[in-house]
């Protein structure tokens, strides 16, 4: 029999407390703490190398932090990794499926891994929903970037996870595909799922995120709703100096808080 | 409400996918199996001079080296580079399932290799063994296969870049085969012949050959078996300890 997971009774689907991650002597994440609420789209923003992907990797259980705790749906990711992972759907930054397998085979593989019964009708429904019904027999390596992204997202939500982690999901997508992905994220929120995404796009953060956290040099430097962040930083001289059109935008706040210097 | 899927269900799905992937890579799959058969067919003189067990054990050993060094290590290095392991590791499934599935595929390959060599040996060179000889040499081939899978693991443990893994495994394969075959025959001198006899090539080949004639098994073969197990353990332990799931 499948084992039921202990459900968290509070309103937090994800709780990150005092996270510290080192690579050798380099500290990539410094005492980061934040929560994601149920039914919330939460954006993690930061320049390149700020610590976003390291934070996300720790939440996914791919790397063990030196200190701090991560609790997903009431399950500590290191004490109960399988329970925590069962509550998470993941879309990694790089699309990462076996290029020799077809779209249908990849869906069936992950349905088996996540314990999702996959009838022929359900498979067809998913394929139609992500507009890959005609590409069902195509190998993953033959799909376009947008098609790969859609398949990757469909697999991330295959088991109806409580929390979906998306690492720069719209990078490289055309405007149509990006809009469609935003609508899918909003659809997930309507169903009560939570989404944690990393992004470089301020437009995306403003368009879909209920709250955002800005991370820089491994530290969390701001966390709030996008419009609240803009409002609370309107008089910040660095933000005003970063403004290009007289009107303060989220990007101005981001540049003002993280600086203009290009990161690696 | 989320449930943890059964490990057996997850594992069987993964195994099926790995089998399909292996089948779709038929060209390399056929090459791995075909090279030892071609050598066996072209070795009529060797069979007459040194006997059937010598020829069969040499061909099986060459196939085992190819499976472990070129098949296993290259597929692991390539999938690690593509991020396939990372995607599987974020799923609610024990990480050992990922490698266990890969190793099971290689064991199937080893079983296929041994069966093909036995059939080819029987049909082409009329080499027949006793039923016990077939069983013991098959088991010896599995143990020998573990040495080269361990060596393949060691290579992907120590080297991250898939192109470097590919070139290193090819070079190691070539060195093993050339030094092993010619060294064993004494062409490269007596000193090297002794070294080759106790090398991973020599011990594996000797336990397979002795397994084909269980009556000839002696204390030296038992020692060769222990050395073989030692090589497999050593290579695997270092390979697993040094292995990184992600090469970024």
Spell out which residues of chain B touch residue A80, defining contact as CB-CB under 8 Å. Answer: none
If DSSP states are collapsed to H, E and C, what string results for chain A? Answer: CCEECCCCCCCEEEEEEEEEEEECCEEEEEEEEEEEECCCEEEEECCCCCCHHHHHHHHHCCCCCCEEEEEECCEECCCCHHHHHHCEEEECCCCCCCCCCEHHHHHHHHHHHCCCCCCHHHHHHHHHHCCCHHHCCCEHHHCCHHHHHHHHHHHHCCCCCCEEEEECCCCCCCHHHHHHHHHHHHHHHHCCCEEEEEECCHHHHHHHCCEEEEEECCEEEEEECHHHHHHHCCCCHHHHHHCCCCCCCHHHHHHHHHCCCCCC
Spell out which residues of chain B touch residue A112, defining contact as CB-CB under 8 Å. Answer: 5, 9-10, 12-14, 16
pLDDT in tens, A143-156: 988 888 889 999 99
**CA separation, residue A191 to residues A157, A168, A194, A204 (Å):** 12, 22, 9, 20
Distance of CA B110 to the CA centre of its chain: 7
* Per-residue pLDDT at B212: 93
* Per-residue pLDDT at B81: 92
Does residue A7 carry a pLDDT above 50?
A: no
* Per-residue pLDDT at A256: 83
Spell out which residues of chain B touch residue A108, defining contact as CB-CB under 8 Å. Answer: 13
With a pLDDT cut of 90, the percent of chain A lying above it is 61
ipTM: 0.87
Mark yes or no for CB contact B91/A110 under 8 Å: yes
With CA atoms as reference, the chain A residue closest to B87 would be A96
Interface test with A, best of B11, B26, B87 (most A CBs within 10 A): B87
pLDDT in tens, A98-140: 989 999 999 999 999 999 999 999 999 999 988 999 999 999 9
Q: What is the mean pLDDT of chain B?
A: 91
Which of residues 14 through 53 in chain B touch A, CB cutoff 8 A?
Answer: 14, 16-17, 20-21, 24-25
Minimal CA–CA distance to A131: which of A93, A188, A100, A176? A176
If DSSP states are collapsed to H, E and C, what string results for chain B? Answer: CCEECCHHHHHHHHHHHHHHHHHHCHHHHHHHHHHHHHHHHCCHHHHHHHCHHHHHHHHHHHHHHHHHHHHHHHHHHHHHHHCHHHHHHCCCCCCHHHHHHHHHHHHHHHHHHHHHHHHHHHHHHCCCCCHHHHHHHHHHHHHHHHHHHHHHHHHHHHCCCHHHHHHHHHHHHHHHHHHHHHHHCCCCCHHHHHHHHCCHHHHHHHHHHHHHCHHHCCHHHHHHHHHHHHHHHHHHHHHHHHCCCCCC
Q: Which of A61, A83, A112 sits opposite B4 (nearest CB)?
A: A83
Interface test with B, best of A89, A97, A109 (most B CBs within 10 A): A109
Which of residues 83 through 142 in chain B touch A, CB cutoff 8 A?
Answer: 83-84, 86-94
Least confident of A71-85, A232-246, B69-83, B115-129: A232-246
Mark yes or no for CB contact A85/B9 under 8 Å: no
With CA atoms as reference, the chain A residue closest to B93 would be A82
Q: Are strands A67-72 and A75-76 parallel, antiparallel or unpaired?
A: antiparallel
Q: Which of B13, B20, B84 sits opposite A96 (nearest CB)?
A: B84
Interface test with A, best of B2, B16, B100 (most A CBs within 10 A): B2
Confidence of residue A3 (pLDDT cuts 50, 70, 90): very low
* Per-residue pLDDT at A95: 63
Minimal CA–CA distance to A219: which of A104, A61, A54, A59? A54
Least confident of A20-24, A213-217, B43-47: B43-47
Please give the model's pTM, rounded to 2 decimal places.
0.87
């Amino acid at each position: 029999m499948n084992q039921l997971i202990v459900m968290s009774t509070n309103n937090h689907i994800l709780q990150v407390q005092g996270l510290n991650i080192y690579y050798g002597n380099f500290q990539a994440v410094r005492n980061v703490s934040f929560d994601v609420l149920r039914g919330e789209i939460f954006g993690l923003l930061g320049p390149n190398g700020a610590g976003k992907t390291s934070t996300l990797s720790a939440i996914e259980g791919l790397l063990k932090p030196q200190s701090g705790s991560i609790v997903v749906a009431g399950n500590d990711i290191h004490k109960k990794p399988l329970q925590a992972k069962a509550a998470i759907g993941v879309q990694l930054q790089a699309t990462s499926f076996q290029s020799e397998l077809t779209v249908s085979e990849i869906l069936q593989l992950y349905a088996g891994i996540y314990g999702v019964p996959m009838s022929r009708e359900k498979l067809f429904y998913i394929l139609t929903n992500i507009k890959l019904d005609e590409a069902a027999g195509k190998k993953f390596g033959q799909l376009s970037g947008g098609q790969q992204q859609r398949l990757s997202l469909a697999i991330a939500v295959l088991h109806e996870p409580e929390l979906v982690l998306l690492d720069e999901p719209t990078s490289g997508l055309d405007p149509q595909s990006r809009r469609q992905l935003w609508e899918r994220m909003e659809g997930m929120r309507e169903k009560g799922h939570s989404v944690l995404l990393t992004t470089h796009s301020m437009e995306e953060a403003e368009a879909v995120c209920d709250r955002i956290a800005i991370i820089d040099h491994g530290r969390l430097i701001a966390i709030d709703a996008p419009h609240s962040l803009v409002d609370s930083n309107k008089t910040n001289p660095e933000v005003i100096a970063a403004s290009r059109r007289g009107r303060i935008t989220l990007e101005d706040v981001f540049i003002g808080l993280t600086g203009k210097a290009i990161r690696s | 409400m989320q449930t943890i899927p059964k490990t057996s269900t997850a594992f069987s799905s993964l195994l099926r996918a790995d089998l399909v992937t292996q089948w779709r890579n038929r060209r390399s799959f056929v090459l791995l199996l075909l090279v030892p058969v071609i050598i066996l067919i072209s070795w009529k003189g060797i069979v007459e001079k040194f006997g059937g067990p010598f020829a069969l054990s040499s061909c099986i050993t060459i196939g085992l080296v190819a499976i472990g060094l070129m098949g296993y290590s290259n597929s692991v290095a390539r999938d690690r580079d593509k991020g396939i392991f990372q995607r599987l590791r974020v799923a609610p499934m024990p990480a050992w399932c990922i490698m266990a599935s890969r190793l099971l595929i290689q064991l199937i390959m080893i079983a296929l290799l041994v069966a093909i060599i036995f059939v080819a040996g029987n049909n082409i060179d009329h080499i027949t063994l006793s039923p016990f000889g077939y069983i013991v040499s098959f088991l010896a081939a599995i143990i020998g296969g573990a040495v080269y899978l361990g060596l393949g693991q060691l290579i992907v443990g120590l080297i991250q870049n898939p192109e470097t893994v590919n070139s290193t495994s090819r070079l190691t394969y070539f060195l093993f085969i050339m030094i092993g075959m010619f060294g064993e025959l004494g062409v490269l001198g007596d000193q090297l012949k002794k070294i080759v006899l106790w090398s991973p090539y020599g011990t594996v080949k000797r336990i397979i050959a002795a397994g084909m004639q269980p009556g000839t098994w002696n204390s030296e073969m038992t020692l060769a078996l222990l050395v073989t197990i030692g090589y497999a353990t050593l290579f695997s332990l270092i390979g697993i300890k040094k292995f990184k799931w992600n090469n970024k």
